[in-house]
Structures are given as structure tokens and as C-alpha cells.
Amino acid sequence: ENSQQKTSALFFPDPFDTFIPPSTLNLSSFTKLMKKLQEIHPEASREKITRALLEVRTNNKGILSGLSINSIVKRTSLIL
């Protein structure tokens, strides 16, 4: 039962071990976001990009759902 809980949850790989419910941002979307942001900002580490994404989420009332990937990329880029 415990292993089912671990596999059904999506963990955002960030330094604060912030839990992201699966409905908020799926792995495919996260992968797309990271790929785009790493292409646009090759100088930024994965950790720095993740922190910027968390800031975007915080600035958007704690959620990313409802924002397009392009909108998230633009907002994250402004922070980076």
C-alpha cells in the first residue's frame, strides 16, 4: 500500500522537497518545461530553473494549472 502512494505521487525535484499533486503538473509537462527553459537559459542550473518555477507557482496563487506552457516559460524566464 505504501509503495502505491509513492508511485501515484509526483515529486518536483527541487531543493525544498515540495510535493506537487499529480493533477497540478504531470511529468510530461514538467519535462517539456525543463527542456524549453534549459534551451532558452543554458547558463541556468536545473536547481535555479526549479526555484524560478516554484516562484511562478507562488506568484500564481500556488498553482500552475490553468497556465499554458508558453506562459509558464515566459514568466519563469523573467525571473531567471
pLDDT of 52: 95
Residue 19 parent element (H or E): strand 19-20
The answer to whether residue 71 scores a pLDDT higher than 80 is yes
Q: Cα torsion for 49, 57, 55, 32, to the nearest 10°?
A: 10
Query: pLDDT for 7-31, tens place per residue?
Result: 434 444 444 444 445 555 566 778 8
Query: pLDDT for 25-70, tens place per residue?
Result: 566 778 888 899 999 999 999 999 999 999 999 999 998 888 888 8
pLDDT of 37: 94
Q: What is the pTM of this model?
A: 0.64
> Is residue 22 exposed (0-12), middle (13-18) or buried (19+ Cβ within 10 Å)?
exposed
Q: Where are the domains of the chain?
A: 27-78
C-alpha cell of residue 3: 509503495
